[in-house]
Amino acid sequence: MILVLIGYMGSGKSTIGKALAKSLSYRFLDLDDYISEQESASVSEIFKTKGEIYFRKKEMTHLKAILNAEEDTVLALGGGTPCYGNNMSIITESDNVKSFYLKLSIPNLVTRLSKEKDHRPLISHLQTKEDLTEFIGKHLFERSAYYSEADHVLVTDHKTPQEIIEAIETQLI
């Protein structure tokens, strides 16, 4: 079985994914890290040198390959992955895949991401909390239709990682 974690940047996909994989004795993959490893370049380097279209094509290719693997895996997607090409259809139509949208409110995303701004190229240029709030709000508005196609939507505000993991594991029974 492959468990796919979907959500906005800062929603906890990697943190929850690593702990969930450990709990289930699955392997953990972060799609962006996997692409970086396969391409021998960081995501931002790929965007700069080869462009977003190249990246999105590689993203889809690697996503398909991972979803077709036989190995039990927890896969954390990049925040934009579900929104490009037919990636969400690929996920939802795969027999051995269950997807989970880790839904975090805008205020909680702002709180988390304001601490990580310097490490996130997409938001590093935003100067104020208001700018960050507006940016996230617009992005979530555009992306929420894709995210909501996940098999399960988990509201994660005010939940510990363990509570989120238990909620996911309950859906697997």
Which residues participate in the annotated binding site for Mg(2+)?
14
Binding-site positions read: 10-15, 32, 56, 79, 120, 143
Query: Is-contact 94 73, C-beta < 8 A?
Result: no
Binding-site positions for ATP read: 10-15, 120
CA–CA separation, 161 and 4 (whole Å): 16
Beta-bridged to residue 76, according to DSSP, are 5, 30
Percent of the chain as helix, strand, coil, to the nearest 5 = 55, 15, 30
CA–CA separation, 147 and 142 (whole Å): 10
Binding-site positions for substrate read: 32, 56, 79, 143
**Structure token pair of residue 44:** 């931002």
Helix axes 43-50, 31-39, angle to 10 degrees: 60
